């Protein structure tokens, strides 16, 4: 039986490519916390990768918008 399955083209390029150090400095998250999130098997791991996929400008915008909710 022949299957006509297409092969994957590989991973898509990462848009953000920000380092953990930059992420820590921009969002004031300790590097040890980021390391724990990366190794986690919970929602924290997904949060880590969502943050890592953002560009520096997106992270700054995200941080500024987050302050709006805190200041209410």
The pTM of the full predicted model, rounded to 2 decimals, is 0.69
Residues 6+ apart with CB under 8 A from 35: 20
Q: What residues does each domain of the chain span?
A: 20-70
Tally of helices (H runs) and strands (E runs) in the chain: 4, 0
pLDDT digits (tens, 9 = 90+) for 7-49: 555 555 556 678 999 999 999 999 999 999 999 999 999 999 9
């Amino acid at each position: 039986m022949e299957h006509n399955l297409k092969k994957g083209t590989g991973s898509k390029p990462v848009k953000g490519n920000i380092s953990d150090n930059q992420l820590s400095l921009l969002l004031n998250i300790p590097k040890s916390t980021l390391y724990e999130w990366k190794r986690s098997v919970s929602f924290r791991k997904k949060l880590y990768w969502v943050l890592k996929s953002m560009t520096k400008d997106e992270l700054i915008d995200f941080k500024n918008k987050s302050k709006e909710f805190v200041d209410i």
